[in-house]
Structure 1
Amino acid sequence: MNAYTSIAAITLYLVAAGTQYRLINSPISYRSLAPGLLATLCHAAAAFTAISTPAGMDLGVVQVLSLITWLICVITLSASLRRPLHNLLIALYPLAAFSLIAELLAPGKQQLLQHQSPGVLSHILLSILAYSMLTIAALQAMVLALQNRMLRDHRIKGLPSILPPLQTMEAMLFELIWAGFALLTLAIITGGVYVDDILAQHLLHKTVFTVLSWVLLAILLCGRVALGWRGNVAIRWTLWAFACLLLAYIGTKFALALIIH
């Protein structure tokens, strides 16, 4: 069942990406929305089936990345109903399809969690949500950086012509950062309360990089409020914070894999 829903989601994601590309200069419509919505529904079934197994929760790298790409697509798709973010889906849909292909090819039941408390599960969920939101913020920052450079070089055709004005893009970036920062704060709090031995050897680097990411985001938001930080300064701080979060997650997964083997 998981394979069928994964294949259906992959096909629908590619159709949705092609449709969105053909309608790149048009506002979001049912024609571009429908295949993406169906793809995320199939992806949800595939991702949750891969994680929730009879033997326990499988939190392997590809399983969690599949869930994260699903959340990114859902968040971006929902936000595009009120903000002009739908052109980002041209890149996000193939990324989600690739994560499903990796999930199909990778062996399952690599990192099983059994009989976890609701507190630990809430920490896991908040961590995944925070990572997803800040991934979208990092992508938004990279698009904003490219748009800013092209406008400075007086290249107004192509990407700048299909994106909202810089002020709108920047406002959207900080909305995403605020949301990601709030989720990351809750994830850190629940981790400190519910996770035993959070400073143990196999979790230490995750804790350090996660807290460092939180500090960088806090400095960025304080700079935004107090000093009006924007443009390249905001982009750099966003990408640094995301890089720390990426190291926290990927580094932990590889460390656990080495310990297991």
Structure 2
Amino acid sequence: MVFYLLAAFACVHNIFNSKHTRGLACALAAGCAIALHGLWLFDTIVRVPGQNLSMLNVASLVSLIIAALMTVLVARFKVWLLMPLIYVFAGILLAADMLVPSHYSMYLESRPEVLLHIGLGLLAYSLLAIASLMAILLSFLTHRLKSHKLTNLPSLPPLMTLERYLFRLIFIGVVVLTLSISTGLFFLQDMFSPTKAHKAVLTILAWCVYVGLLWGHHHLGWRGKKVIWTSLVGSALLTLAYFGSRFVREVLLGY
């Protein structure tokens, strides 16, 4: 958690001190944080009877994936404004996971196909969550530009470049989500059972939203607010699919 805070501080320094960036310091602190976070999750999820895939463990794992991907991509995407939020949020989820331990055991040793399905789903969610953060950043920068308040900092990417990266991320996320849904349909016989049908339906709805967004962009020239809001709707549907029922069961009902 300390390393996450140091990485966030270094990113803030990069934003406001463009002539004296601390990209190496940020990368080192973030690398230490991600490595220690990964060791903690390995001990919490794997080194227990079965696999402890509680809601907080899964949420913390998603935050780790997002932090790791963005640490690798930030220099190319120039989205330094997002990094303090990503690192602080990952630290908060790590703290919550440590302070409020919970258990939801699954036994995946004999079912590698289910592990593949879950892994693809978490990777797809992480990629599309990053896309949603970039959509929010795009909205913020567009508003600042229209208000003539956009400063010319190296930490801010050009709007057209940011939009191009946004659609690339959405496309890759949709491909991975398609693989996740396909493996679920192929390997999970209870995917549409009464207790799991809502997850499948919401996930497929989110897939339809993102596919519609890509189609609208390439064939109808969708840009701006329509792209931003559609991306956020897709992310919200995926969040409900992945965490909605788990939140009700583990937090509200306590089992």
| Same fold flag (TM > 0.5) | yes
Asked whether 1:23 is paired with 2:17, we answer: no
Cα offset, 1:51, TM superposition: 1.1
Cα offset, 1:53, TM superposition: 3.0
Question: Can you give the 5+ residue segments of structure 2 that lack an aligned partner in the other structure?
Answer: none
Using the TM superposition, name which of 98-107 and 112-121 deviates more.
112-121
Question: Can you give the 5+ residue segments of structure 1 that lack an aligned partner in the other structure?
Answer: 1-9
Asked whether 1:33 is paired with 2:27, we answer: yes
Partner of 1:6: none
1:43-58, aligned counterparts within 5 Å? 43-58=37-52
Q: Distance in 2 between matches of 1:139 and 1:106?
A: 27
The root-mean-square deviation of aligned C-alpha atoms, in Å, is 1.9
Partner of 1:225: 218
Partner of 1:7: none
The letter for the 1-side match of 2:90 is A
Tell me, yes or no, if the aligned pair for 1:202 and 1:256 is still in contact at 8 Å.
Answer: no
Partner of 2:134: 140
Distance 1:105 1:260, change over 3 A: closer
Instruction: Tell me the number of residue pairs that the alignment of Structure 1 and Structure 2 aligns.
Output: 250
Q: Which of 91, 111, 117 does residue 123 from structure 1 map onto? A: 117
Partner of 1:177: 170
The letter for the 2-side match of 1:171 is R
Q: Which of 197, 204, 217 does residue 204 from structure 1 map onto? A: 197
Partner of 2:206: 213
The letter for the 1-side match of 2:41 is A
- The alignment partner of 1:141 has SS state of helix
Q: Distance in 2 between matches of 1:184 and 1:31?
A: 34
Q: Distance in 2 between matches of 1:37 and 1:107?
A: 25
**1:18-48 CA deviation, whole Å, 9 max, x = no partner?**
1111122436631221111111111111122
Distance 1:161 1:35, change over 3 A: closer
The letter for the 1-side match of 2:5 is L
Q: Distance in 2 between matches of 1:67 and 1:101?
A: 13
Distance 1:113 1:259, change over 3 A: farther
Q: Distance in 2 between matches of 1:183 and 1:148?
A: 29
Tell me, yes or no, if the aligned pair for 1:77 and 1:86 is still in contact at 8 Å.
Answer: no
Q: Which of 81, 91, 94 does residue 97 from structure 1 map onto? A: 91
Cα offset, 1:196, TM superposition: 2.3
Q: If the length of structure 1 is used for normalisation, what is the TM-score?
A: 0.90
Tell me, yes or no, if the aligned pair for 2:4 and 2:29 is still in contact at 8 Å.
Answer: yes
Q: Which of 233, 251, 254 does residue 240 from structure 1 map onto? A: 233
Cα offset, 1:145, TM superposition: 0.8
Distance 1:156 1:82, change over 3 A: closer
- The alignment partner of 1:80 has SS state of helix
Partner of 1:154: 148
